[in-house]
Amino acid sequence: MTVLYEDNHIIAVNKTCSEIVQGDKTGDTPLSEIVKAYIKEKYNKPGEVFLGVTHRLDRPTSGVVLFARTSKALTRLNEMFKSHEQIRKTYWAIVQGAPKVPEARLENYLTRNETLNKSFIAKPNAKEAKLAVLSYKTLVRGDNYSLLEVNLETGRHHQIRCQLAAIGCPIKGDLKYGAKRSNPDGGISLHARQIAFIHPVSKQPICITAPVPDDSLWQQLAASVH
């Protein structure tokens, strides 16, 4: 586990694609418990350590995850994530091919299939369809893959994965949304690159950036970003 930022109220770590943020049916140890153990040992805290989950990343996604160390911070961060105000999440994605339009804003209505754990593009009047909005720009265009920067305006289930696949650019390794082959590590090439927000207690601007995965293609594309 790599800690990217910590103070008395918040802690941010760089999640790998094999880690889960919260416990699930797999029974694997979640990142939240690993962070708790880290805090308990580092600060020699007796008893139970408080740690609040403010947002989640899909298991196969890597990148920055922000936790609250106090209830005050948790309440305020939850409000910020819910309203999408005072907080900005930036993702990097390696996609197959390249978008026909190098930079664009995508608006789609999505429906979620719980059984398949997958989202689908739907008509605006479809049952339970929710508006999904993101903007992307092409940072590096390669022969087979391109690196995109994605900014979310909404937080829908599998939003980036579904919307990029819909423009013919599935994320590398994302078999569920049309990638040709899986990644060796079982993850997908979607990385929560940066989170910028107003600190819930000090009110100071905070910007946390997560290094890209230690993978040759990631390293090569990231090095080409100007």
Q: For residue 62, which phi and psi values (nearest 5 degrees)? A: -110, 175
Longest dimension (CA), the chain: 56
| Annotated catalytic residue 215 | no
The single residue of 58, 174, 185, 214 carrying the catalytic annotation is 58
* Burial degree of 78 (CB within 10 A; 0-12, 13-18, 19+): middle
* Burial degree of 203 (CB within 10 A; 0-12, 13-18, 19+): exposed
Residues with a catalytic annotation lie at 58
